[in-house]
Chain A
Amino acid sequence: MHNIYKPIKATVKKIIDESPLIKTFVLKPEQKFSFKTGEFIELTMDGIGEAPFTPSSSPLDTEKIEVTIMKTGYVTDRLHEISAGQKLGIRGPFGRGYPLEKFYEKEVVILGGGCGFAPIRSLMHNLIAERSKIVKVTLCYGAKTPEDCIYEPFVEEVRSIEKFKVLRSVDKADETWKEKEGVVTVLLDDIEVDIKNSVAVVCGPPIMMKFGTLKLLEMGYQEEDIYLSMEKNMSCGLGKCGHCMMGDYFVCKDGPVFSYNEIKDYPGIWM
């Protein structure tokens, strides 16, 4: 009988410094492993701890998976100290990911903040692969400062693809910054979108998701067309340990992707 608690091993092939607090770990699992965009894995650092992450690589790439991790607590502090060659553990994939079929024939607006770009990047890989079915994609990405912006090469690549647009802002700019200044929601003022035929995806810190969602609703988005990736304390990742309960949902199993109408009256959605 398959043991739901036992991780498969993966070797860290490469570590990319994205920003002072964020690194991307390129992993090669020792067994065949695949995931759908928006699903997450539980990543184990041997003897230290386990934490949930949504892979940021393309779900279509079967050779490797990438996880982008911010240094922010017990496990992630220690993950940031490891080197390539070390083995980590993976359990998963878990959860309900982004419903790609809901994005077909639509204009997709993505609002991302900080490390929230991680699940968004995997989603965008899917959208790029299926761009013949999508009307257009506008990514609004924000970070605290220019050096906190991640995935620069990816942003350049996306900007060269037809139907794809990337707008960026930082809370505090410097002389080198040529794009907008302000919280990420200011970018929504600049988008050219037919809201009636649009769906929105929001991912980032809880407070950013709250104000992003409120602004999108103001702009005329329907509650069922706003997709959020909810963040909760998780342990098992598979609907048993109870840590991620949000009302009668297990965020690890019923989510982490929810449409706003599914959660709007629930307690603790914005923490």
Chain B
Amino acid sequence: MADCVKRYNIYAPTQSNIGLEYDIIDDNNIQDIIYNTPKTASPLKLFYLPVKENVVKETNLKLVNIIIGAPSCDLAALDILDEIYLNEPFIDPFYKKRRENSIIIGTDCYSIEENCHCNVYDVKAIPEKNHDILLSFIDERIFLSINSDKGSTLLKNIRDFADVVTMTEDLKNLIESKRETVASALKKQNRKIPAYSETGNIINESDDAIWKEFSRTCVSCGACSTICPTCTCFLLVDRSGFEKIRQMDACQFPGFARIAAGEDNLGERHVRFKNRYLCKYVWKPQKFKSLACTGCGRCIDTCIGGISKNKLFIELANQVTA
């Protein structure tokens, strides 16, 4: 690791004053890295879609980024980001470069948090896609499972600096049992939450009252959209020299849909609130192959109005069956 930090930009989760968060690793904080714990406050998406980025001036990304500790929910979320930002004929060259310039080391979660509900959307707590290496920290050692050519190349480059041992049967079983424990815990914790395939339906069946009720404490701060690994809306802000800054935006902000003459079909807050659910659970599933929600639960963690989408969906499902 000490050698790697000289040759790459390495980001890994460490404890910060807002909880677990990606920090850049240097010689001083290697021992502070926390492995196999869900999930950092910031989603993986912010490495690829930073809050502000100049999209006219060419960037000089010198060092390759290694991102350690990407959880399965964030990795599954990359599918829809790729589907939107890399689709022909309008490929976003800045997003593309950042994706190509990073090596992702995923970790599976050996514990769960109260709002984690990846399993409800068929996302396992074990990374299954979009990562180059899978890392398990067990028995004071790091075990790596290669998942791509990029991962294999990295390992070749660092092999000389590591004490390489092979995985034993015992350790393998230990990892398996941790994974099973997590899977059962998720299943039990989230047993009442409706599955992804049902959510579109229960939203379409709903009336206005439940949306007004649940959005009562919403202040349109947009935190849910900013922190969401699958939300990608942005605004292009002009700078002189015909430059443009791509700035992450949120449909929760007033004026998101307002047109020049002043008409605004998302003018009312409860309408904006419902609109985000329609977008993620009805319209995006019609339009894209990828999941528009991977059940990470950050929106619930972050909402300053204390709104829980899991509670909302359970309530919506009850209304339909009632």
Contact = CB atoms under 8 A, between A and B. Distances in A.
Interface of A: 1-7, 9, 44-51, 70, 72-73, 76, 89, 205-206, 231-233, 235-236, 238-243, 245, 247-248, 267-268, 271
Interface string B53-66: 00110000000000
B91 interface: yes
Contact of A50 (B55, B236, B266): B236
B90 interface: yes
Interface residues of B, number: 41
Contact of B234 (A76, A205, A240, A268): A240
A271 B256 CA distance: 13
16 contacts: A1-B93, A1-B96, A3-B56, A4-B90, A4-B93, A5-B92, A5-B246, A6-B55, A6-B242, A46-B242, A72-B260, A76-B260, A241-B233, A241-B235, A241-B236, A245-B279
Interface stretch (B145-153, B159-167, B170-178, B282-290): B282-290
A7 to B, nearest CB: 5
B232 A242 contact: yes
B184 interface: no
Please report whether the interface of chain A is mostly helix, strand, loop or mixed according to DSSP.
loop
Contacts of B56: 3, 5-6
A243 B260 contact: no
A44 B55 CA distance: 14
A247 B257 contact: no
B236 A236 contact: yes
B18 interface: no
B287 A243 contact: no
Nearest to A240: B84
A236 to B, nearest CB: 6
A112 to B, nearest CB: 16
A207 B261 CA distance: 11
Contacts of B8: none
Contacts of B256: 233, 243
A205 B92 CA distance: 32
B116 to A, nearest CB: 26
Given A1-B96, A73-B260, A245-B283, A240 B242 contact: no
B193 interface: no
B233 A247 contact: no
A232 B238 contact: no
A9 B241 CA distance: 11
Contacts of B240: 46-47
B264 interface: yes
B120 interface: no
A205 B261 contact: yes
A196 B257 CA distance: 37
Nearest to A5: B55
A167 to B, nearest CB: 25
A242 B246 contact: no
Interface string B29-42: 00000000000000
